[in-house]
Amino acid sequence: MIVDNAPTVLSVKNLTANVNDTPILKGLKLEIKAGEIHAIMGRNGSGKSTFSKILAGHPAYEVTGGEVVFEGQNLLELEAEERARSGVFLAFQYPVEIPGVSNLDFLRASYNARRKHQGLEEVDPFDFEDVVRDRLQVVQMDASFLDRSVNQGFSGGEKKRNEILQMALLEPTLAVLDETDSGLDIDALRIVAEGVNQLANEKNAMLVITHYQRLLDYIIPDYVHVMYDGKIVMTGDKELALELEAKGYDWVDELQPVGV
């Protein structure tokens, strides 16, 4: 929702970045205020996922210019875990499997790392079970998930639900959902989207990165940005997503000046 006079959560100015010395982001600008849901669309290779990894602080991506300010602090000078503890959450496109580490232990370690950062007391294993059981309902997950190793042997839908469960636990200020709809059937997509909608409020912000419009039928964005060659080239509301769906990405190509 767009809230008048809401504080700025994320401010990105002229961001440029390389992967293996190849420029991928070429001057990205974006401003997100509390309460807003933004969607970034674009074809594969336009730089969407790179942007999400940079926000989360992946070491393989090199920022070459510009600035990223999150709640008034320079995000780029924080380590990945410090960003997470400060409230930047990335729902991964491909959540990794971590054999041997139980989902429950992992969630508790993560939950306590965030709480510690917030100056709150860490939660012991017994109390944590109550906390996590409560959140499981958000993504309609069964408690047996908690005893399994992190993402190991999970179906694509289960992995994505596990991501949203973590989001529900960590209550981030900025949640970046990277291609969360990829690989989901319609039922899983609905569960995930409903989870996200339950978690959205006037204090946090969401950045939904997607290739297709279909996720945006369930998570209604306040703003839709189109990314092309490392920059945001168009911004509109939900209608832009529908237009893009109808006309295809070639339409965006044609609008670009020759030589870009």
For another protein, the binding residues (CB under 8 A) are 56-60, 79-81, 83-85, 89-90, 92, 95-96, 98-102, 105-106, 109-110, 113-114, 117, 149, 166, 170
Can you read off the two tokens belonging to residue 162? Answer: 């596990």
Nearer of residues 163 and 222 to another protein, judged by Cβ: 163
The least CB distance from residue 120 to another protein, in Å, is 13
Output the 3-class SS for the chain: CCCCCCCEEEEEEEEEEEECCEEEEEEEEEEEECCCEEEEECCCCCCHHHHHHHHHCCCCEEEEEEEEEECCEEHHHCCHHHHHHHCEEEECCCCCCEEEEEHHHHHHHHHHHHHHHCCCCCCCHHHHHHHHHHHHHHHCCCHHHHHCEECCCCCHHHHHHHHHHHHHHHCCCEEEEECCCCCCCHHHHHHHHHHHHHHCCCCCEEEEEECCCHHHHCCCCCEEEEEECCEEEEEECHHHHHHHHHHCCHHHHHHCCCCC
Nearer of residues 111 and 223 to another protein, judged by Cβ: 111
Bridge partners of 223? 38
Nearer of residues 101 and 200 to another protein, judged by Cβ: 101
The least CB distance from residue 121 to another protein, in Å, is 16
Q: How far apart are CA 194 and CA 183, in angstroms?
A: 17
Nearer of residues 35 and 57 to another protein, judged by Cβ: 57
The least CB distance from residue 161 to another protein, in Å, is 16
The least CB distance from residue 110 to another protein, in Å, is 4
The least CB distance from residue 56 to another protein, in Å, is 5
Nearer of residues 80 and 234 to another protein, judged by Cβ: 80
Nearer of residues 57 and 221 to another protein, judged by Cβ: 57
